[in-house]
Structure 1
């Protein structure tokens, strides 16, 4: 799950931006229409295209031996500090983890697993039985070998009834015997077999294309460290919080809780000795990220705030890389609650936002293309469906989604019985009762407040009284707790703005499945269940069949509107000109190859 990166700006500026955005509401040109030429936006501001960027550094020079790279994670909050792939939930923690731990399986730019990782695999003729072989030279940082038992142990922990994390879902229930184990009816998982020290066999209930495109959990858990820790207490243990180990190119040297991790090279790394001696990963506030880059306090960051790019596009000491992000922003509607006992969503037909006409009208009332141009200079653009263009085999580029049309929004509301019955300019619900819609939105980035206010104003323009939850933006961790990451849904929230990081596998069940905790809307329907199941079925091994399923699913979401996709994103990453071998290509994870040409970062002129 990726976070929104928006932050509060001064009220006067905010009001001006809101008014400017409202004025450009009729512009329907999408930045998904690529152009070789940069275009001029409102007031002569530059409009950029993702085609303007390279995905890998073009820096020149000879690598020195060793060196210290400084990597920034841009956020206005402290990290949670769950430094293990099996337990983390926040998008920021993983930016720290990936430097010292990694997947056992490698994936290519098309998001499919290949044979280049720390483990190789074979699939039997049925497509249901996978046999994995971990390479002999793959070891934990304490020198112990990474074993098949470690990999199986990760499945046993995630499938355990006391597991405190968010990983358990379709990727695990598809394994034979997993549900029986999870429900306490079996002491082991029948579909998982440790063949020998380095060989693991997993039997799935059915063949599925999802397995080869990210549907296999590929992160081992060192059993010799965690075996004596109760599962319910693992996430808060020192093995996760204070002394994490992995199998990656760097190993943790020290941790400043919530702020920074210092790592040193793992000379025993299975792909070879890393080129750097040291890496520091630290939190960098969005307000100070530009200064941190210019002075060399950090060499690069995990993602640069797109709204700050136009003013810093000519920063002299960095090269800006860009790629279509595997993510999108969206507005979600609260349609139910989470049943903690059954671990599934519980739709509630009495929820304020249960009327699809109300949701659809709110979608037609907002101009997301204008948001992308005005606040992100084209580095975000109108989103039409819930499968983004980062997955071109499945994104339905011909589906227009819910187009900006405020007059249509008014007509839909009128016909659905939402009318102003007391003359105050705001519509009451069909029963004639006052309708106040509570909207939750996050802090993080200079445009956070003006964008939230734009949406509120756009909905007001069609007669809907939408109020910002608690009258303010919500801090990142608090926001996700309140919309339901802990399983408790704040009943005050009717609508929320969030972001979603799409997995390598196109399967959208992680956010829209009936048993997905991250399904914060708490939406479910029989047709949705059917299409999600078809998308990972044996029939879907045929690409054309799977494309048709997900085309139908994208249209279903346009019709039922549990969420409104708002913007697709360009991921922008600045890299200091001393850094070599750095890329933001999809699924690239060879951090051991990164090098530098000089001891100190190049500073801006």
Structure 2
């Protein structure tokens, strides 16, 4: 036993590793039995960060804005709302791809954007009306046909993306269209060139959320209509020269590396301030040095695990906000049936015993991880609804916190016993039991954090090994998840929920994003309650969200590990940029007040 204890990577050594990359630091930490890590690291309150630039100088003419996206992977370059899948492509779409609707601080749709939404609950009908002057970057007007076209893409049987789910099935006539029994969607009506009516089988409050039950985007039908839907994802208008109606358009794309943007002279909501924007992928290992040498005006996806190395850089201010995101552990419990667009839960899968999953959650001290790896910019996650959603987050839940004794008892009672006395538990059948763990590479923290998880699981007697023997590159990682690689039993990933907290799109039975492939009658019923018309009543909605969060905690098909805050370093020469969730499109107003960064 002494050799096994000394061989463990304790939280103390993991945290020392993480802090050494940030300039050092002293810490007390766990021993192999999983004691807590405390002291030695200053935490940071994201509420104290500004949310917008304070530079009041006038923007210069013909300014150029240099933007970095900190990433260790090349972006995929799926620059169409119907096809993009990850946060990196979404970052690159920011200056050019505008949504139809704006939203308030609670992410409710407002009518200040390119279109307005009217939801008639009694008639179960949504009416979308375009404003005058909304024009594509090639000079063609945005029309009702462009609002309807995304539904025809996503609902088509040859659609290659992953967004066809229950929100689309609720539209009258969508099932018939998807099954090839109808050439059009009977529930969608073009009233005139600017107005569309959509009839639903039922309506729910998510339809009032930005990015919720009503698709918030248009697609340029005049550009895409002659491309077969099965070929659309790989087509030039998606990957090389997208036509958009945001303040800028993508004028030059270097695949996987950078995008250059030029002003959209047809932009409907004012005149863009800049001559050019250049957005570039930059490795996380070199992003701080790039800032120190004043190469960029702002950095998206800035790693918070190295916050101490850039928190006081001359010439920059750090904006900060809560994220609509969380990190989580997911357990593979089945497969995706592509033909039926439905998850297939396997009650006999390796990780099917919820006691095993719960034990793995209680083995971890994510509160200490958040404090020590991320300077308090991340914290122990308690539920699957992040606290940024103040009206639906269950603030009473405590989540999974470190309790080694409880973890061991759960495994004992479930029948995972150490049969041969080597300190490692066998399976319920008495045979060798190995769990395959997949986690992504990238950044200073990925390896030591994953090592900590594996060794904490070892401390409760579980033999956990890396899928492929090492951490996995971002794109390969998600390819394996989507294709239900049998070498993944548990994985660590993160979700950006978007602006609608409804869990149907991530954990419902028809959601392709439901990577765990978990399904139960109770889970479906609880999600359906959230998605029902009864949830227009605020008290009912709150209760429905609370019950689902409590159920998800108990079943532990996914265990949230870290709530996340994000930091945006921004040059002091940048003007008129707000990072607030309820701000108008910041790319429409952003400028620079000097030719160079100082």
TM-score (norm 1): 0.92
Moved more, 291-300 or 240-249: 291-300
Q: Which residue matches 1:146?
A: 142
Distance of aligned partners of 1:541 and 1:382 in 2 relative to their CA distance in 1, 3 Å threshold: same
Q: Which residue matches 2:321?
A: 323
From 151, 156, 159, the counterpart of 2:155: 159
Q: Which residue matches 1:533?
A: 528
Across the two proteins, how many residue pairs are aligned to each other?
575
Aligned pairs for 1:268-347 (under 5 A) are 268-347=266-345
- How far is the alpha carbon of 1:50 from its aligned partner? 1.6
- How far is the alpha carbon of 1:311 from its aligned partner? 2.2
- How far is the alpha carbon of 1:21 from its aligned partner? 4.7
> 2:543 matched to 1:545?
no
Q: Matches of 2:442 and 2:577 in 1, distance apart?
A: 26
Q: Which residue matches 1:102?
A: 98
Q: Matches of 1:507 and 1:242 in 2, distance apart?
A: 33
Q: Which residue matches 1:226?
A: 224
Q: Matches of 1:211 and 1:66 in 2, distance apart?
A: 40
Q: Deviations over 1:184-206 (max 9, x none)?
A: 12111011111111111111111
Q: Deviations over 1:366-405 (max 9, x none)?
A: 1110111121111110001101101010111111122220
Q: Matches of 2:508 and 2:423 in 1, distance apart?
A: 38
Aligned pairs for 1:100-249 (under 5 A) are 100-124=96-120, 126=122, 128-213=124-209, 214-249=212-247
> 2:440 matched to 1:445?
no
From 540, 560, 564, the counterpart of 1:565: 560
8 A Cα contact 1:21 1:374, kept in partner: no
Partner-residue secondary structure (3-state), 2:233 = helix
TM-score (norm 2): 0.94
- How far is the alpha carbon of 1:216 from its aligned partner? 1.0
8 A Cα contact 2:437 2:464, kept in partner: yes
8 A Cα contact 2:288 2:309, kept in partner: no
Q: Matches of 1:101 and 1:545 in 2, distance apart?
A: 35
Q: Deviations over 1:469-503 (max 9, x none)?
A: 1221000000001011xxx2100110000000112
Moved more, 546-555 or 173-182: 173-182
Q: Matches of 2:244 and 2:29 in 1, distance apart?
A: 47
- How far is the alpha carbon of 1:170 from its aligned partner? 2.1
Q: Matches of 1:540 and 1:337 in 2, distance apart?
A: 31
Partner-residue secondary structure (3-state), 1:554 = helix
Q: Matches of 2:398 and 2:407 in 1, distance apart?
A: 16
Distance of aligned partners of 1:526 and 1:219 in 2 relative to their CA distance in 1, 3 Å threshold: same
8 A Cα contact 2:579 2:586, kept in partner: no
Q: Which residue matches 2:595?
A: 599
- How far is the alpha carbon of 1:316 from its aligned partner? 1.0
Q: Deviations over 1:263-319 (max 9, x none)?
A: 111122100111111111111110111122222221101221001111221111110
> 2:62 matched to 1:66?
yes
- How far is the alpha carbon of 1:66 from its aligned partner? 3.1
> 2:488 matched to 1:493?
yes
Aligned pairs for 1:364-443 (under 5 A) are 364-443=362-441
Q: Which residue matches 2:9?
A: none
Q: Matches of 1:579 and 1:494 in 2, distance apart?
A: 46
Q: Which residue matches 2:30?
A: 22
Partner-residue secondary structure (3-state), 1:22 = coil
- How far is the alpha carbon of 1:125 from its aligned partner? 5.4
- How far is the alpha carbon of 1:14 from its aligned partner? 5.2
Partner-residue secondary structure (3-state), 1:164 = coil
Aligned pairs for 1:351-366 (under 5 A) are 351-366=349-364
Partner-residue secondary structure (3-state), 2:110 = coil
8 A Cα contact 2:14 2:452, kept in partner: no
Q: Matches of 1:331 and 1:169 in 2, distance apart?
A: 23
Q: Matches of 1:252 and 1:465 in 2, distance apart?
A: 49
8 A Cα contact 1:46 1:310, kept in partner: no
Partner-residue secondary structure (3-state), 2:102 = coil
Q: Matches of 1:584 and 1:23 in 2, distance apart?
A: 41
Q: Deviations over 1:26-55 (max 9, x none)?
A: 559xxxxxxxxxxxx633x32112223111
Moved more, 168-177 or 313-322: 168-177
Q: Matches of 1:26 and 1:198 in 2, distance apart?
A: 62
Moved more, 564-573 or 45-54: 45-54
8 A Cα contact 1:531 1:553, kept in partner: yes
Q: Deviations over 1:447-470 (max 9, x none)?
A: 000000000010000100111112
8 A Cα contact 1:21 1:371, kept in partner: no
- How far is the alpha carbon of 1:509 from its aligned partner? 1.1
Q: Matches of 1:137 and 1:62 in 2, distance apart?
A: 27
Q: Which residue matches 1:520?
A: 515
Moved more, 448-457 or 67-76: 67-76
- How far is the alpha carbon of 1:99 from its aligned partner? 1.0
Q: Matches of 2:223 and 2:468 in 1, distance apart?
A: 44
- How far is the alpha carbon of 1:232 from its aligned partner? 0.3
Aligned pairs for 1:582-593 (under 5 A) are 582-588=577-583, 589-593=585-589
Q: Matches of 2:14 and 2:466 in 1, distance apart?
A: 15
Aligned pairs for 1:436-475 (under 5 A) are 436-475=434-473
Moved more, 51-60 or 246-255: 51-60
8 A Cα contact 1:120 1:133, kept in partner: yes
Q: Matches of 2:121 and 2:358 in 1, distance apart?
A: 46
Q: Matches of 1:125 and 1:75 in 2, distance apart?
A: 43
Q: Matches of 2:454 and 2:393 in 1, distance apart?
A: 29
8 A Cα contact 1:127 1:207, kept in partner: no
Partner-residue secondary structure (3-state), 1:104 = coil
Moved more, 543-552 or 398-407: 398-407
Q: Matches of 1:178 and 1:326 in 2, distance apart?
A: 30
Q: Matches of 2:308 and 2:35 in 1, distance apart?
A: 23
Q: Which residue matches 2:574?
A: 579
Q: Matches of 1:94 and 1:431 in 2, distance apart?
A: 46
Task: Report the aligned-residue RMSD.
Answer: 1.7
- How far is the alpha carbon of 1:526 from its aligned partner? 0.5
Q: Matches of 1:23 and 1:581 in 2, distance apart?
A: 50
Partner-residue secondary structure (3-state), 1:373 = helix
